[in-house]
């Protein structure tokens, strides 16, 4: 593609070619990309000045909703509901802690994008070598595909439950959500934000309705928000799960790396005068408010999911923790906990609403997952493809393991098929644990730096302290839980030799993670030093 090479866009001290063509761009399936993040929507939404606090907040609202979707996707459902079934309200505190950490990380991601005008992938790539950029791109792609597997499973099961479409066909139908994406790209980003908010409200209202009917013990709910020594205990086992493994499952399904890349990109959709520091500060302020409000909604959804596991069903009534089992339990009066729920369940509305919410969750994640894929592809390897093609490739790759799982269990009992799909969804989260440190650590290092953010926008001392605590704690917990996650690939009852293999594989992966993190830190520090030298040279010349 022919570019105006005399036009440049300075970002974070690095010169990036502006991809504005001399002639009308000739669209190709694969194009070189080294311009603004998500160029088609970057800076396209104007926010008038002096319109009052609430109208300004409304104008900035939207990106937070797209981010919040990742915190309530189908991967969260099983961990939260099963955690409630097995340990009552004990793990409520884990949902709260995960949500607070998410708010902190997403605030830093949005701030990075707004202040530096680079998304996280661009910022990392500009300060590291091409080889490291490719490695980090591959890691993040695996993480996106892992979440996409959960979306395929959730959407296919919802189609099966609502319309009785055979599971294999339903899996293939999920590929055609690319048509939905094609439609959305034609209507404008502001309308996409509105659709996502509506789908979030559908999910929230469904579970509010079910929880209100169940009349939970609210005293125990609020008591569960305070962590205790038992919260991360590894001694008590219920249905093959310990409080620690349940907590790790919730954390792994909640704090996901691709959301940091996404937020740093879509926070730039609002037009901001970067020559005016006050205008930048206003954008950071309202983007943070938007993010925190939407993530609070995500916290309530996840809390309602756990409360559903405790209060809607009788203790131990759900023998099948998969989406199939939960759907059947919502229509089985013998498994429900009170008379009001039983009378409503007879109409079939509880189970139908559950399936509708599951489908809405999967479709929400379709939108955000595709945008994130484009962000990391453009940022790390400077390659762009149409969103529909990007979605089609990712979805087809994600469909393969789901189809294999369905076909391998087709001759077995229904419960075996359900458990196998549930295990595949949970086990795929191992890639999230592997990839998370490589987004959190660079994000924290760059937002801590006055060279990157300026004196005004760099992290304050308390944000810095909480950030490092979160990064170290999450990385440590994910490494600690890596062996049990790998053991999950061997089934619910792995042998001693399989457990030994799991420990060896986990040890090798942890060594690789530490080595890659060291490589990343060294290159980021070197990149910052080069930036400072360039800045000093520029100052002396002027």
- The pLDDT confidence band at residue 315, using thresholds 50, 70 and 90, is low
- Between 483 and 339, the higher pLDDT residue: 483
Q: Is the pLDDT of residue 540 over 80?
A: no
Measured at the alpha carbon of residue 423, what is the angle toward residues 409 and 252, in degrees to the nearest 5?
160
The lowest-confidence range among 53-67, 171-185, 234-248 is 171-185
pLDDT band at 177 (very low <50, low <70, confident <90, very high): confident
d(CA 72, CA 61) in angstroms, rounded, equals 18
pLDDT of amino acid 542: 62
As a whole number, mean pLDDT of residues 358-373 equals 78
Q: Check pLDDT > 50 for residue 12.
A: no
Q: Is the pLDDT of residue 7 over 50?
A: no
Structure tokens at 244: 């620690």
CA 419, CA 491: separation in Å to the nearest integer? 10
Instruction: Look up the pTM and report it.
Output: 0.85
Q: Which two tokens stand for residue 31?
A: 């194009």
Other Cβ atoms less than 10 A from the Cβ of 22: the count is: 11
How many Å apart are CA 441 and CA 520, to the nearest integer? 9
- Both tokens of residue 502? 């799991």
What is the band of 319 on the pLDDT scale with cuts at 50, 70, 90? Answer: low
Q: How confident is the model at residue 118 (pLDDT cuts 50, 70, 90)?
A: very high
Domain parsing of the chain, residue ranges: 31-444+453-526
Measure CA of the first residue to CA of the last residue in the chain; give whole Å: 34
Q: What are phi and psi of 411, to 5 degrees?
A: -90, 0
User: How many whole angstroms separate alpha carbon 192 and alpha carbon 201?
Assistant: 14
Residue 318: Cβ-neighbour burial (10 angstroms; 0-12, 13-18, 19+): buried
503: Cα separation from own chain's centroid? 27
Of 7, 6, 4, 16, the C-alpha closest to 121 is 16
Q: Could you give the CA distance from residue 64 to residue 358 in angstroms, rounded to a whole number?
A: 20
3-class DSSP state of 7 = coil
CA dist., res. 63 & res. 66, Å (int)? 5
Q: Is the pLDDT of residue 30 over 80?
A: no
In this predicted model, what pLDDT tens digit does every residue of 433-470 receive, in sequence order? 778 889 999 999 999 988 788 889 999 999 999 999 99
Paired tokens of 375: 């962000």
Phi, psi of 384 (to 5 degrees): -125, 140
Selected residue with higher pLDDT from 530 and 269? 269
Averaged pLDDT for residues 317-322? 65
| 127 pLDDT more than 60 | yes
> In 3D, which of 131, 174, 97, 165 has the Cα closest to residue 365?
174
Q: What is the pLDDT of residues 207-229, one digit of tens each?
A: 888 788 878 888 999 999 998 88
CA-CA distance, 260 to 256, in Å (whole number)? 8
Scanning the structure block, which residue is given the tokens 């040279």?
537
In terms of Cβ atoms closer than 10 Å to its own Cβ (0-12, 13-18, 19+), residue 492 is exposed
Mean of pLDDT over the chain: 81
CB atoms within 10 A of CB 427: 18
Look-up of token digits 């909480």 = 466
46 phi and psi angles, rounded to 5 deg = -85, 145
- CATH of 31-444+453-526 given 3.90.1150.10, 1.20.1740.10, 1.10.540.10, 3.40.50.300: 1.20.1740.10
Specify the residue for token string 């934000």: 193
105 closest CA partner among 303, 274, 295 = 295
- Cα–Cα distances (Å) from 181 to 33, 67, 176, in that order, read 21, 17, 9
Tokens read off for 507: 């040890």
Q: What pLDDT sits at residue 477?
A: 82
For the residues 64-89, what does the mean pLDDT come to? 80
Tell me what pLDDT residue 74 has: 72
Q: What are the start-end ranges of the H helices in 382-495?
A: 387-408, 414-427, 430-435, 437-448, 450-457, 461-480, 482-487
Q: Which residue has the higher pLDDT, 475 or 27?
A: 475
- Residue 224 has phi, psi (to 5 degrees) of -70, -15
The predicted structure's pLDDT at residue 295: 93
What pLDDT is recorded for position 336? 66
């Amino acid at each position: 593609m022919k570019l105006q090479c005399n036009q440049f866009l300075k970002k974070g001290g690095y010169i990036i070619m502006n991809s504005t063509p001399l002639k009308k761009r000739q669209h190709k399936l694969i194009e070189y990309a080294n311009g603004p993040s998500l160029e088609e929507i970057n800076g396209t939404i104007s926010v008038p000045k002096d319109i009052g606090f609430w109208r300004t907040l409304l104008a900035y609202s939207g990106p937070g909703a797209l981010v919040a979707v990742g915190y309530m996707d189908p991967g969260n459902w099983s961990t939260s509901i099963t955690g409630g079934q097995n340990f009552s309200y004990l793990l409520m505190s884990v949902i709260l802690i995960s949500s607070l950490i998410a708010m902190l990380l997403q605030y830093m991601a949005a701030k990075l994008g707004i202040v530096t005008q680079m998304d996280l992938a661009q910022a990392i790539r500009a300060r590291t070598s091409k080889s490291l950029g490719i490695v980090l791109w591959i890691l993040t792609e695996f993480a996106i595909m892992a979440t996409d597997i959960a979306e395929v499973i959730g959407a296919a099961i919802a189609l099966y439950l609502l319309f009785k479409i055979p599971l294999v066909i339903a899996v293939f139908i999920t590929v055609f959500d690319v048509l939905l994406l094609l439609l959305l790209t034609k209507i404008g980003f502001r309308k996409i934000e509105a659709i996502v908010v509506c789908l979030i409200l559908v999910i929230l209202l469904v579970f509010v309705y079910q929880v209100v009917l169940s009349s939970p013990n609210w005293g125990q709910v609020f008591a569960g928000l305070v962590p205790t020594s038992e919260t991360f205990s590894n001694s008590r086992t219920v249905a093959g799960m310990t409080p620690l493994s349940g907590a790790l499952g919730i954390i792994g399904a909640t704090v996901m790396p691709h959301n940091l890349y996404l937020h740093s990109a879509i926070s730039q959709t609002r037009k901001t005068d970067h020559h005016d520091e006050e205008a930048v500060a206003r954008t950071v302020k309202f983007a943070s408010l938007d993010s925190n409000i939407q993530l609070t909604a995500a916290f309530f959804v996840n809390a309602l999911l756990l409360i559903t596991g405790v209060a809607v069903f009788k203790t131990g009534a759900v023998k099948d923790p998969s989406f199939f089992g939960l759907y059947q339990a919502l229509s089985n009066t013998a498994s429900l906990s009170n008379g009001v729920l039983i009378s409503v369940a007879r109409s079939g509305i509880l189970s139908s609403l559950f399936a509708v919410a599951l489908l809405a969750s999967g479709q929400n994640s379709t939108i955000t997952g595709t945008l994130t894929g484009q962000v990391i592809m453009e940022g790390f390897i400077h390659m762009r493809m149409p969103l529909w093609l990007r979605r089609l490739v990712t979805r087809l790759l994600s469909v393969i393991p789901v189809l294999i799982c369905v076909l391998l269990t087709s001759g077995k009992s229904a419960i075996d098929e359900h458990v196998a799909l549930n295990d595949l969804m949970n086990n795929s989260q191992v890639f999230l644990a592997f990839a998370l440190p490589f987004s959190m650590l660079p994000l924290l290092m760059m937002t801590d730096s006055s060279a990157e953010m300026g004196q005004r926008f760099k992290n304050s001392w308390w944000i810095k302290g909480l950030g490092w605590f979160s990064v170290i704690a999450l990385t440590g917990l994910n490494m600690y839980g890596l062996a049990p996650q790998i053991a999950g690939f061997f089934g619910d009852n792995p042998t001693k030799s399989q457990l030994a293999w799991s420990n060896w594989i986990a040890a090798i992966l942890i060594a690789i993670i530490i080595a890659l993190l060291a490589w990343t830190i060294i290159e980021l520090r070197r990149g910052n030093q080069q930036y400072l030298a360039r800045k000093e040279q520029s100052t002396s010349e002027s």
